[in-house]
Structure 1
């Protein structure tokens, strides 16, 4: 256990140091969610007046959607960093050291989690500046950030698994582009489920992105529904653990193939 913690610490420190040397990356990736927040918030503001929407302002509704959508977009291409390490030979050098394979995966998970949490907080503050209301208070916002981190880790782990297995940038890019919009728009990110066509509503119910959104919105409501938040958050947490374990197994499979 001590070796795992120590290895995770040093691998995480290495990743965060590289990230802090280029903070412009985080700032640039915030441009897209800012456009979603302010453009969609204004463009579709009247949607909140439709019967069945729930009576809240569309800005209040869309902030969690933008937070989760940003987490999905930010983490879907995490495998590209893994491809960089494979191509430079960095990963191969780490694999001949005593560092645990799970420590390599944990470091990536922690880096993505911290990046996602930071950007989620920035989006929340931007929403607050634009006039969004968060009835669930700090506890509800904490659940929103946690949900964003979990769905982000799921996508990052899957992206890294894909990079380790196929080792081809075009495949990673193509698959992510193919899945990104369906994952987002076949969820409750921008439209209440009661207003969706029946088939989209059924797909959204089984979509992990909706699990994150439903958990966060249940915690952010005027009267937080903690039972619903837990019911949607539990399978998301289980899926996170499965995908991280899959990424760890993929590192070992990659090592055996060298």
Structure 2
């Protein structure tokens, strides 16, 4: 005859995965009920892609512009993909703020939901949204005449880089939202970080034409890591060492930001 253990085992990895899938599905269903949100998020990047692609197409003829093969549209596409991922993920924390305001978060904390799954689900939802938006941007670029010698593997790397970038900034956004609990603070920090990070990268311009200090700062910029990996993979004669190195930096940063988000969630839970 067996007796029950006085210390039952806590939720295991299978519970974490199952709860993450369920909670991510909740977020995606909410997003599916508001498709206009995804469409609106694509309007600006598509305008950049088509307008800037035509307006600055002669830039590739400037002395020192080293990525001119294939035209400016091919050069610009990876930058616009990463800009889309950056701007969307910087607002990811609003999901937490809405749940806090509506009392959903309190109900979740009193439910059997795995606490880790509550963090993972928001990041998974943002990753799926980024994946869809990135595919649309690449499709628009191809329809506009861009051709990518890297083919399907290059597009795959571009999507992976965009998702990793989205994980970095969605985790950071979640942490800010949980620690401050203020929409105004999240907006201020998002505005303060996204535009400088975009322009301190090669998203829209070859860094060899920029001041030297911009290139130095870009070396520590996750947006630049993502753009470089994607652009290298989409071009001809891909240097896979460069691609994998930059993807590795993005993955390590995403892990660090994820841990920060977990700590912020614990801090919120302890104060709730």
Q: TM > 0.5 between the two?
A: yes
Alignment match, 1:173: 187
Give the C-alpha shift of residue 52 in structure 1: 2.0
2:27 pairs with 1:26: no
Equivalence map 1:2-17=2 (5 Å) = 2-17=14-29
| Equivalence for 1:224 | 238
Match of 2:119? Answer: 105
Residue 239 of structure 1 aligns to a residue in which SS?
Answer: helix
Counterpart-to-counterpart distance in 2, 1:143 and 1:14: 28
Which residue, 21, 44, 48 being the options, matches 1:36?
48
Normalising by structure 2, report the TM-score.
0.93
For 2:34 and 2:106, locate their aligned partners in 1 and report how far apart those are by CA, in whole Å.
24
Bigger shift: 96-105 or 163-172? 96-105
Aligned match for 2:135, one of 112, 121, 124: 121
What is the deviation of 1:198? 0.5
Q: In the alignment, what sits opposite 1:186?
A: 200
The aligned residue for residue 104 of structure 2 is 90
Matches for 1:28-67 after TM superposition, within 5 Å: 28-54=40-66, 55-56=68-69, 57-67=71-81
What secondary structure sits across from 1:30 in the alignment?
helix
1:254 matches 2:258 = no
Q: CA RMSD in A?
A: 0.9
User: 2: distance between equivalents of 1:151 and 1:104?
Assistant: 20
Q: What is the number of residues matched between the two proteins?
A: 258
Aligned partner of 1:245 in structure 2 is: 259
Is it true that 1:235 corresponds to 2:249 in the alignment? yes
TM-score (norm: length of structure 1):
0.98
Report the Cα offset of residue 180 of structure 1.
1.4
Q: Deviations over 1:192-235 (max 9, x none)?
A: 12111101111111111000011111211201110000111111
Runs (4 or more) in structure 1 with deviation over 6 Å come to: none
More helix by share: 1
Instruction: Please give the alpha-carbon distance, in whole angstroms, between the structure 1 residues aligned to 2:85 and 2:22.
Output: 25
Q: Deviations over 1:113-171 (max 9, x none)?
A: 01000000000000001111111000011000110111111111101100000011111
Q: How far did residue 105 of structure 1 move?
A: 1.1
Larger Rg: 2
Structure 1: distance between partners of 2:177 and 2:220: 26
CA distance in 1, matches of 2:58, 2:122: 41
- How far apart are the structure 2 equivalents of 1:78 and 1:182? 19
Unaligned segments of structure 1, at least 5 residues: none
**C-alpha distance in 2, partners of 1:124/1:6?**
32
